[in-house]
Amino acid sequence: MYLSSKEERTLQGEEGEALSFAMKILVNLGDLEGAEGLIPVTSAHVSGVSYHTAGEALIKLLEELNEKGAKVSIPSSLNPAGMDLRRWKEIGYPDDFAEKQLRIIDLYKGLGLNMTCSCIPYETPDIVLPVGLGDHISWGESNAVIYANSMIGARTNREGGISCLASAILGKTPNWGMHLDENRAPDLEVRVKGEMEPIHYDLLGAYVGKNFNSSIPVFNGVRIDSDNGSLKHLGAAMAAKGGIPLYHVDGLTPEMTKGLVDKDGIDERIDVSAFGLWKMKKELYPDPEKEVNTYVLGCPQFGRAEFARLHAAMKGKKVKKGKRILVYTSRGLRNLLPEGRVEDLENAGIEVYDDTCMVVSPLARLGMERVGTDSGKAAHYIPKMSGIEAELVPLEVIVDRCTK
């Protein structure tokens, strides 16, 4: 990979150990991916925050970076942690876990990152990270990556925790993959037939992610009159089941509406319908063998649209004894909600937590044996991350099952 003489000097350590460390990581990555050089990025979103997923190795790395005096040089934010950082005791997190998690947060703080632990920085751009069409960014967390690329038209590869942290420190990333025009045009057309409910977008994402893993899809026939969170779920499920970093929607996503990509390279076309997707549900998400009593919502973390939907579904209802509904969001997002929204839900028996989510929390250590969720991404990852069964259930059905 080509390096300018200043970059070369940084690599050799003339600007200090921390920048040299970050440069080494990015040069190795760039060489591996065939990048021609480095480009500046306007923001970094760092994944790898939960002690449940990252463990001791992360603590060691962050301690070393703090010792070297590393600091982020661009606006940089953090993905969810393994627990609600304020209410962990009342929820029942073990002390040993909490101690490690708080240590990680302290170490990130030392590096200068924004402490809003969120996987939806795109919903709180003024609070967490500014991002716009055409911005080159370095984001980890696959739902944030696919949303930023697709719905905003920013440009990022699916970065790992270490490479986005290196970019946060250096303010640069290797120029390859999604940063290049030629890799952003669709090669698969997905024609959506008929009416789709929100849950069908999770199934659609899972189906396309699983079966067209290396494609850039363009969807047409998608009718989203108002943002109800469905496209967040579509992207999250697609990125979870496959490695897809970008999709387009005819008439909606900015690179299509502004004519920045064309459809000349499409070499495959498929038709999908809500009915067909529902028939595939058991194959994509096997049902648990026993009844589910605990339901976890907010993967990606709950935004304004999802809160509005749940609030409407819960009107006049209360969670009944023996059932639980837990919602995960970020503090930044919570602050943008209409007054009383969270309080109404809490008064109805719903538990609303910040800073974390059901995938990066140690659910089994919290006593959960199986859960239901309205998220295709969460239903995919919970069995892998916590070793417990997860059922994919539409949000309104969850409310029906849990309320009186």
Taking contact as CB under 6 A, which single stretch among the options 172-180, 210-218, 258-266, 374-382 is the one that binds ligand F3S? 374-382
- Residue 205 to residues 15, 192, 219, 290: CA-CA distances in angstroms? 44, 12, 11, 26
Residue 119 as a binder of ligand F3S (CB under 6 A): the answer is yes
Taking contact as CB under 6 A, which single stretch among the options 191-199, 246-254, 256-264, 377-385 is the one that binds ligand F3S? 377-385
Q: Which residues pair with 219 in a beta bridge?
A: 190, 249
- Residue 5 to residues 35, 75, 247, 364: CA-CA distances in angstroms? 17, 25, 37, 51
Nearer of residues 80 and 177 to ligand F3S, judged by Cβ: 80
Residue 236 as a binder of ligand F3S (CB under 6 A): the answer is yes
> Any idea what DSSP says for residue 152?
I
Whether residue 301 contacts residue 334, with contact meaning beta carbons closer than 8 Å, is answered with no
Question: Encoding tokens for residue 16?
Answer: 């200090």
Location of structure tokens 């659609």: 204
Nearer of residues 165 and 360 to ligand F3S, judged by Cβ: 360
Question: Encoding tokens for residue 385?
Answer: 């991350």
Q: Which residues pair with 392 in a beta bridge?
A: 373
Residue 301 as a binder of ligand F3S (CB under 6 A): the answer is yes
Nearer of residues 172 and 380 to ligand F3S, judged by Cβ: 380
Whether residue 250 contacts residue 154, with contact meaning beta carbons closer than 8 Å, is answered with no
Residue 80 as a binder of ligand F3S (CB under 6 A): the answer is yes
Q: Which of 158, 179, 370, 377 binds ligand F3S (CB under 6 A)?
A: 377
Location of structure tokens 């003024």: 126
319-348 in b/e burial notation, b at 16+ Cβ within 10 A? beeebebbbbbbbbbbeebeeebbebbeeb
Number of residues that bind ligand F3S (CB under 6 A): 15
Q: Which of 121, 171, 217, 300 binds ligand F3S (CB under 6 A)?
A: 300
Q: Per-residue contact track with ligand F3S, 122 to 141, x per CB under 6 A?
A: -------------------x
Nearer of residues 300 and 349 to ligand F3S, judged by Cβ: 300
Whether residue 48 contacts residue 54, with contact meaning beta carbons closer than 8 Å, is answered with yes
Shortest separation between residue 261's beta carbon and ligand F3S, angstroms: 25
Shortest separation between residue 46's beta carbon and ligand F3S, angstroms: 12
Q: Which of 54, 360, 368, 402 binds ligand F3S (CB under 6 A)?
A: 360
Q: Return the closest-CA partner of residue 161 out of 148, 144, 179.
A: 144
Shortest separation between residue 49's beta carbon and ligand F3S, angstroms: 9
What string of DSSP letters covers 334-396? HTTSPTTHHHHHHHTT-EEEESB-TTTS-GGGGT-SEEEES-HHHHHHHHHHHS-EEEE--HH
**Near ligand F3S in 142-171, by CB under 6 A:** 143
**Near ligand F3S in 259-298, by CB under 6 A:** none
- Residue 332 to residues 38, 64, 128, 261: CA-CA distances in angstroms? 32, 29, 7, 33
Question: Encoding tokens for residue 20?
Answer: 């040299």
Location of structure tokens 């109805």: 348
Q: Per-residue contact track with ligand F3S, 318 to 357, x per CB under 6 A?
A: ---------------------------------------x
Q: Which of 10, 43, 79, 373 binds ligand F3S (CB under 6 A)?
A: 79
Nearer of residues 7 and 374 to ligand F3S, judged by Cβ: 374
Nearer of residues 107 and 357 to ligand F3S, judged by Cβ: 357
Q: List contacts with ligand F3S (CB under 6 A).
A: 79-80, 119, 141, 143, 236, 299-301, 357, 359-360, 377-378, 381
